Structure 1
Amino acid sequence: MPTPRSVLTHPVVWSIPVMALLAWISMPINDELYEFWVNYDPQGDAQQQESLHATRIFRYTSGVLGGQLLALLAGAALARRHSQATALAVAAPLGVLLAGVTVLVAYPLARAREAGHRVGPAYDDPVLVRVLLHELAGYPLLAAAGVGLGILLAGRRTSQRGALLILLGLIWYAAMQVGLAQDDEFGGPSWLLWAVPPIAAGTAVALAGLALDVWSDPPLLVGDGGSSAGIALLVGAGAYALGLNLLGVLVGRRRRRPTRTPPPESAADS
């Protein structure tokens, strides 16, 4: 019979409130993201309109970038408690659940901050809807990738696993910031978007926020609004999910393979 501690420490239990907390904490940060990364002092009608559009994208995507890392870590934690097949069966629905929690927390908070502005419903904004769907669809893929990662780390000591996961978190955060710093189009080699999911995720949000050309009359959408980066995120996350779990299968088979001891040598006849 499971103990209260084992229940409370199960990834399905602790990841949900952590996700809600991430989305809540991210909202005031994302609220200032435009002034931090793009224009710290928007002046005139055009810059104010760009600020409103970008800030709206950033608000409604609050928590998604951190949530993707959380989904990855939750998948890795599942691999420590269950077989690979069971962990994968739980990881994908858990990723969907975490995505739903992100929206349930971020949407009303973002909507409340728009109370003083004349804007339509968020679901009428095609750029916002597209980038949000791409970001949320990455959750179950990254949770599945986390299962494979957890299996690969299972043979290491607890201190080593902790150090590697902390390093992963720092690298993830740095890559995410690289993506958020993009302006109008991705400034690096395109293969980075496909190879590094947090760069693709951050780039998709940044380019969606800056997709409105406010200097034209009337303002027009330019570029693809981060759509290419969003697709790269999903392809890259899916590739990691497949590759890491295939490696996990191979590693698991090797660990289960019994070690054969050589037969004792027969004594020589005297």
Structure 2
Amino acid sequence: MTQTLVAELRHSLRNKRWWLLVPLMAVFTLVAFSMNDVAAEMYGNYDPQGDDEVLEQLGVLVTHRYTSGHSAGQLLAMLFAAGLVTREFAGRIGVPAAFAPPGWLAALVAKLAVAVLTSLALAAVAGVVAYALTRADANSLAGYEDKVLANPGDYPYAPSPTEIHTGIRRTLLIGLGYFPIWAVLGVGLGLLVRRLPVAVAIGVIFYLCSVVVSTIAAPLLTFIPTFMHAGMTQVVYELPSGGRIAAANMAVTGALAVLMCAVGVITLNRRAAWEKLGAAVDESARNDR
């Protein structure tokens, strides 16, 4: 199994497409950073009045900025993982040797490991770029926090700085945690569809649908696998129950990923068994002649 994993990792690192993922992820984050300023205004207070409202809106802004590129990165991680699997089926009619018994488990573990490691690399790139861009901005929470803390009686309805920072950290960690989950789901998708163009089409369509769900139907986020879009970001940051909603959503997405991998493997094993039986019948027929 170790040899299979090393071979899979080497194959990916020698592929130019793998090295394109890093700059592509950086570009996605840079573009999303500007777009998330608009999202922060849409989901937050576009016209804050007073230091307390400015502080609250800055919390929303920082949260959306720190999660810049997460949704596109998760989609990229899923499609890359699907591509790891579908390349084994390219130009083949039957079950490829990599996924035929008895070596299918080693191949599956290797694909999953490389997909997860790649997703973590993408998450790291998104996190570093978003952090650098956010810290370079002149806006700061500190000045408004000092004013609110120094005069709590003047701001009876203001969220405490502790609540704001807790929401920011919770949202950032959950957003980064989605990357490996979507990578595993991508492996399952590749096992089921076995053609990269089909996997890309399904991934993009589901991505666009999840934008709609996270934007206009937030209560459904508990039950429907969702990328870390602006709507999901706002729910996780703002609601006291946001952490529980995200945890449930991650569990549903993870369960779907495991189910897709399992169904894909079972389907391939059955197909391999039928191919083996058909080959045995053909061999027997030739011998009878």
TM-score range for the pair, normalised by the shorter chain length: 0.7 to 0.9
Q: Shift of residue 103 of structure 1?
A: 0.5
Match of 1:107 in 2: 131
CA contact (8 A) 2:39 2:230 kept: no
Say which SS state the counterpart of residue 125 (structure 1) adopts. Answer: helix
Is the contact made by 1:201 and 1:233 (CA closer than 8 Å) also made in structure 2?
A: no
One of 37, 43, 49 as aligned partner of 1:44 = 49
Alignment correspondent of 1:219: none
- Equivalent residue letter for 2:15: V
Match of 1:127 in 2: 167
Q: Give the deviation of 1:119 after TM superposition.
A: 2.7
Q: Which amino acid is 1:245 matched to?
A: C
Which residue does the alignment assign to 2:176? 136
Tell me: CA distance 1:19–1:90, structure 2 relative to 1, closer, same or farther (3 Å). same
- TM-score normalised to structure 2 length: 0.70
Per-residue deviation at 1:235? 0.6
1:215 alignment partner in structure 2: none
- Cα-to-partner distance string for 1:189-217 (whole Å, 9 max, x where unaligned): 4xx5233223x7654411245x2xxxxxx
Residues 204 and 227 from structure 1, CA distance in 2 versus in 1: closer, same or farther, beyond 3 angstroms?
Answer: farther
How many pairs does the alignment contain?
Answer: 238
Equivalent position of 2:84 in the other structure: 78
Distance (Å, rounded) in 2 between the aligned partners of 1:118 and 1:36: 20
Aligned to 2:193: 153
| Matching of residues 256-267 of structure 1 within 5 Å | 256-257=272-273, 258-260=276-278, 261=281
Indicate whether 1:7 and 2:7 are aligned.
no
Higher share in helix: 2
Post-superposition shift, 1:33?
Answer: 1.0
The reply to whether residue 233 of structure 1 matches residue 249 of structure 2 is yes
From the superposition, tell whether residues 208 and 85 of structure 1 become closer, same or farther in structure 2 (CA, over 3 Å): closer
Alpha-carbon offset, residue 150 of structure 1: 0.6
Aligned residue identity for 1:97: A
1:218 corresponding residue in structure 2: none
Q: Which runs of 5+ in 2 are unaligned?
A: 1-9, 89-106, 146-160
Q: Which has the higher contact order (CA 8 A, sep 6+)?
A: 2
For the pair 1:246 / 2:256, whether they are aligned, the reply is no
**What is the deviation of 1:138?**
1.2
Post-superposition offset of 1:80: 2.6
Q: Which residue does the alignment assign to 1:216? A: none
Tell me the equivalent position of 1:214.
none
Query: What is the CA deviation profile of residues 28-57 of structure 1, one whole-angstrom value per residue up to 9, with x for unaligned ones?
Result: 000111223455x41422543432221111
Pick closer, same or farther for the CA change 1:48–1:162 going to 2, 3 Å. Answer: same
What do residues 86-105 of structure 1 show as CA deviations (whole Å, max 9, x unaligned)? 21121111121111111011
The answer to whether the 8 Å contact 2:36/2:230 transfers is no
Distance 1:33 1:233 in 2: 21
Aligned residue in 1 for 2:103:
none
- Correspondence for 1:66: 72
Contact 2:33 2:130 in 1 (8 A): yes
Letter in 2 for 1:91: A
Distance 2:13 2:66 in 1: 35
Aligned-pair distance for 1:177? 4.0
Q: Secondary structure at the match of 1:148?
A: helix
1:197 is matched with: 226
Matched, 1:207 2:235: yes
Structure 1 vs Structure 2: percent identity of aligned residues? 26
- The aligned amino acid for 1:32 is V
* 1:223 partnered with 2:240: yes
Amino acid at match of 2:264: G
C-alpha RMSD of matched pairs (Å): 3.3
TM-score by length of 1: 0.75
Query: Offset of 1:250 from its aligned partner?
Result: 0.8
Q: Greater CA deviation, 255-264 or 96-105?
A: 255-264
Which residue number corresponds to residue 53 of structure 1?
A: 59
> CA separation in 2, counterparts of 1:3 and 1:233?
33
Does the CA contact (< 8 Å) of 2:79 and 2:203 recur in 1?
no
